[in-house]
Chain A
Amino acid sequence: DTAVSQTPKYLVTQMGNDKSIKCEQNLGHDTMYWYKQDSKKFLKIMFSYNNKELIINETVPNRFSPKSPDKAHLNLHINSLELGDSAVYFCASSQDWGGRGSADTQYFGPGTRLTVL
């Protein structure tokens, strides 16, 4: 049973195309995230959603739009792909402890390697 899954695992596309990456978690978690890992393996947060509401929206181009149809899914749509978008994109999820605070452990999906030609 895969806890956090992403599709596709590899995505090769041309500049200017629009593409989506899907993420699903079966852990019953309330919060989901997207991270980007660049060619130097540096990991940085892009977005986080809690119960379908946007919490974190880091400085990423407007071409990136997350969509959360329900709390088990957080998809990433990218418009007008550019060469610099080539990276590995990781989805993650964590349990939300609500008003008690506490940053719970984030569990990551296998990653999607996006290559823009």
Chain B
Amino acid sequence: AQKVTQAQTEISVVEKEDVTLDCVYETRDTTYYLFWYKQPPSGELVFLIRRNSFDEQNEISGRYSWNFQKSTSSFNFTITASQVVDSAVYFCALSKNQAGTALIFGKGTTLSVSS
């Protein structure tokens, strides 16, 4: 069975601090996909990144970076120099290598950035 664990329920930081959101997953599949989504207070789900299990390269997009380590089954997300607009719930998700398959979500981490 597939499972995603986001152990940090809530994180509070002050603007300009760096913050890392942890994600640990479980799967027996050799090929799978990992995702991060952001849910701001307005409620929509915003796609951030998709990564397949064969691509362990770290990714950087502006202030966002992702660290994928198969050895520890982790796909962590770091925000550098956090801003108030980063305040949101962040979800890590896992899916099989199959069209039309479900996303298995973690319970989310609520990030609060204060000025």
Q: Which residues on A are within 8 Å of B, measured CB to CB?
A: 30-31, 33, 35, 40-45, 48-50, 55-56, 58, 88, 90, 92, 94, 96-98, 100-111, 113
CB neighbours (8 Å) of A40 from chain B are: 107
Q: Given the known inter-chain contacts A41-B39, A111-B43, A111-B44, please indicate yes or no for A106 contacting B97, CB distance below 8 A.
A: no
Measured CB to CB, the closest approach of chain A to B51, in angstroms, equals 11
Question: What CA separation (Å) do A104 and B107 show in the bound complex?
Answer: 21
Asked if B85 is an interface residue, CB under 8 A from chain A, the answer is: no
Selected contact of A97 from candidates B39, B44, B91, B99, CB within 8 Å:
B99
Chain B interface residue count: which class? 20 to 34
Within 8 A of A (CB), among B77-110: 89, 91, 95-103, 105, 107-108
Q: Which of A97, A100, A108, A110 has the most chain B CB atoms inside 10 A of its CB?
A: A108
Question: What CA separation (Å) do A40 and B39 show in the bound complex?
Answer: 13
Measured CB to CB, the closest approach of chain B to A88, in angstroms, equals 7
